[in-house]
A and B are shown apart, each in its own frame.
Chain A
């Protein structure tokens, strides 16, 4: 293959020799308006993933409205989430909020007897008024165990952005799991929500590698999380699980760091981290992954022409931005201008950052107006941004992609590498296709 190597890629490859990449780049940190979802929004995929769970937000009309606006606007007849809306009577003390919550829960359980896990989700209002959902969950647990397990966590916007909601949820899930016996057999725990189809693909690969004991967090059912202890090796499938990883470590688990499984390179490095931890011989690793690698490379190559040399700007959204940028930079030779992320975990991100060119501007947190100024100064070919910003940029004649699509689309693993490239390529292709102007 005749690989076109733009200067910045060459530079990055040179730096790779000492393994630094943009590890040392100091991120821009500006305090201004954050234009990101709050942690409640991760319920949109969590409630689909955990099939016997119901997520009950205890919040305001704003929280309910956010959920319906972000959740693809009123598609589901009756999703497994809802909002207990705090009103005046609750706040003025005319109604006892805990009693009110009990009533809502009783109604809900009567309506949905199939629910095995009820998750109380805290919001900004519930936190500001210091409503103790942990205690509420405990009391409900006493009442409904063992038919129903009740958990709580915070998805509030004053504590969490978007994907951090999942981080908090997973801590709640594993908080109560028993410690594995010292002689328990070794197990691999994949942490972070993945599409079912991707879980199945990875399971086949791990089995092929001889790693039989594989679990996913979150599991598809309330009862699916195994005891965790020193027998547990954790491979992070998502980059936003800072606190979950800490908790797993506290339980004695070993957490691996690797590039995240996006693209051929990322997926291979990610799988290899597990293979190395489980002492899988190199020839076996090759035998199991070579075909997938080849397919992924081929699928991605279909979009390389469209993406190579394109200058890309990432707004902060899901914390997946550094990994997505690494994929674009390394596998389709795009040029990365800015990688915004709501929070940069330098540990978990180290392997990805090391593969990014040092020319990349990192930005942690946000001042959206200043970031928009930078976009206008940079004039990128492609902007990855939130849903509130997309059309205004398009109206300026810029090409955009909704960042939320990367959280909502199966993109991890070999078989999805082409889909991932296609997501980036589509808006560019569309611009080429259209003979209309604003």
Chain B
């Protein structure tokens, strides 16, 4: 039993819904109680989908238990096929129905439905949303493409590929697909099928016709792509084209597969991240401490971009995807840090507080944490929020994705000259602790807080009530050396966004040198010792 307030992932049947809702012509009959229908709102509200998810819930009740829940399932299944006329259905149980063991797959088989029925076994008490999406997609692909023979293609026909992984409710999946389809087109590659998003069950039967597979989201499509490779010998392009370098690598990998020349495509790319990052204006980005948390694919890519394409310093990297812990651990090692593998957001919050970053790249959960701590933040991964479905075109992948990433990682930071001025005029009343960068929400003036604490929003569901200032005396509360009043005052003259680092460095320095208490001297000694 685990105590949870917020979760990064829903139950596995929500993953199945993401696959089913992304597709067309597929229906999902889910044995589940009425409350589980909440999942519809994820799609219609958060993603603003125009149609209800293609899901029929049996909504059995307590009085049905032990008598006719199986009958209820069969009726729901039959009626759903009649009403929605799908090309195929998937059937399964949510957590409650799993306990009553009605066997939806077996029941559906007895109905002689005139459509393929793909049963799903998604263990709700072990697995989570992404696993559920992956398993569902795999079962669909295996069930519908299995046993097919790839079509013969005429000599000289253009090379084709499948784009695998995008689902409903995915972080920027809509625009990533557009961007990558376009990119593949510049290499002369045609897209055979995009799946699950936009595909019908019939389309899945055509998957074997492609020359290779592009896996954009390994969390969802890795398993299915492996199966396609084993079964039909389709190679996998596994580089996720996020960031400039990975996109170039992706282009080269694809070009190699199809025998095209990648260099013109790379040379003509409408990519601005590189130049913007090289431009003198971006000097101030150097060494900005960034904390990264999200699904494995996005977290690993964000870290690589942050460190190698923007010149930040990755001071924290983690994921909630336990299935990909190994990959994230390996990535973290490159940056000399220990990966954080957890699905407990309180642990993530503690890690952020300890790492004292200047920028957080995370999920909606981290956005809230960063807001409370008054640290800039950009969202890079699901779980998503209505804001993660912007009206404008904003992919995270491909060359345009790199442009979008430059903007979204850099804008939350205080600008270069702004930062210098803050350093010069740190006594200016508008630059003091309670004055925030103009793009961050205004906070109460005059509030001074000595420690970061995790506050409880007692009064109102509004960030304005969270009087918490990241002025970085956390280390002090962990029993580090004490500060003289003078030194404490001097520390306060350092702009708030670097103060945490200064305090941490000084305390580490003092501890190493055996100095206690910390004086103004110690502060500047430490500054000289570590440099900026």
Contacts and interface: CB of A to CB of B under 8 A. Distances in A.
Interface in A119-165: 124-125, 127-129, 156-159, 161
A97 B125 CA distance: 14
B34 A390 contact: no
Interface in B453-467: 454-458, 461-462, 466
A128 B31 CA distance: 14
Nearest to A128: B99
Nearest to B55: A33
Interface string B438-450: 0000000000000
Contacts of B45: 387-388, 390-391
Contacts, number: 215
Contacts of A161: 34
B128 interface: yes
Nearest to B468: A77
Contact of B62 (A66, A81, A85, A159): A159
A100 B11 contact: no
B230 interface: no
Contact of B6 (A36, A68, A438): A68
B385 A74 contact: yes
Interface residues on B, range: 35 or more
B257 interface: no
B130 to A, nearest CB: 13
A60 B129 CA distance: 13
A93 interface: no
B435 interface: no
B521 to A, nearest CB: 39
Contacts of B125: 60, 86-88, 90-91
A66 B36 contact: yes
Contacts of A87: 1-2, 125-126
B50 A395 contact: yes
A364 to B, nearest CB: 14
A38 B35 contact: yes
A90 B56 contact: no
A73 B33 contact: no
A351 to B, nearest CB: 28
Interface stretch (A13-21, A101-109, A179-187, A222-230): A101-109
A69 interface: yes
A84 B65 contact: no
A391 B53 CA distance: 11
A231 interface: no
Interface in A54-89: 56, 58, 60-66, 68-70, 72-88
B501 to A, nearest CB: 24
A311 interface: no
B94 interface: yes
Contacts of B9: 61
Contacts of A37: 34-35, 37-38
A352 interface: no
B454 A78 contact: yes
A95 B3 CA distance: 15
A34 interface: yes
Contact of A62 (B2, B94, B368): B94
Contacts of A349: none
A74 B94 contact: no
B1 A84 contact: yes
Contact of A78 (B123, B456, B461): B456
Contacts of B53: 388
Interface string B23-38: 0000000000111111
Interface string B1-14: 11111110111011
Given A61-B128, A97-B1, A78 B61 contact: no
Contacts of A118: none
B457 A75 contact: yes
Given A86-B1, A158-B96, A66 B35 contact: yes
A298 to B, nearest CB: 29
A38 B10 contact: no
Interface in A367-388: 369, 386-388
B44 A390 contact: yes
B83 interface: yes
Contacts of A101: 1
Interface string A424-438: 000000000000001
A397 B43 CA distance: 18
B381 to A, nearest CB: 14
A56 B100 CA distance: 24
Interface in B359-390: 364-365, 368, 372, 385-386
B153 interface: no
Given A65-B11, A128-B65, A77 B372 contact: yes
B325 interface: no
A125 B456 contact: no
A74 B365 contact: yes
A66 B41 CA distance: 10
A88 B456 contact: no
A101 B2 CA distance: 9
B46 A73 contact: yes
Contacts of A70: 38, 41
A389 interface: yes
A86 B96 CA distance: 11
A412 B163 CA distance: 53
Contacts of B62: 127, 156, 158-159
A34 B37 contact: yes
Nearest to B84: A369
B163 to A, nearest CB: 26
Contacts of B301: none
Contacts of B7: 61, 64-65, 68
A164 to B, nearest CB: 11
A65 B14 contact: yes
A422 interface: no
A107 B3 contact: yes
A101 B49 CA distance: 39
Given A82-B4, A85-B2, A108-B3, 14 more contacts: A33-B37, A33-B58, A34-B34, A35-B40, A60-B11, A61-B4, A62-B124, A66-B35, A127-B62, A157-B33, A388-B37, A388-B53, A392-B44, A392-B52
18 contacts: A35-B34, A37-B37, A38-B34, A60-B96, A62-B36, A75-B462, A84-B4, A85-B4, A87-B126, A88-B125, A107-B3, A128-B65, A128-B99, A156-B35, A388-B40, A388-B53, A389-B52, A391-B45
Interface of A: 32-41, 51, 56, 58, 60-66, 68-70, 72-88, 90-91, 95, 97, 100-101, 103-104, 107-108, 124-125, 127-129, 156-159, 161, 369, 386-392, 395, 438
Enumerate the 5 nearest inter-chain pairs by beta-carbon distance, A residue then B residue, closest first.
A38-B35, A388-B40, A157-B35, A395-B50, A157-B33
Interface of B: 1-7, 9-11, 13-14, 33-46, 48-53, 56-62, 65, 76, 79, 83, 94-96, 99-100, 123-126, 128, 364-365, 368, 372, 385-386, 454-458, 461-462, 466
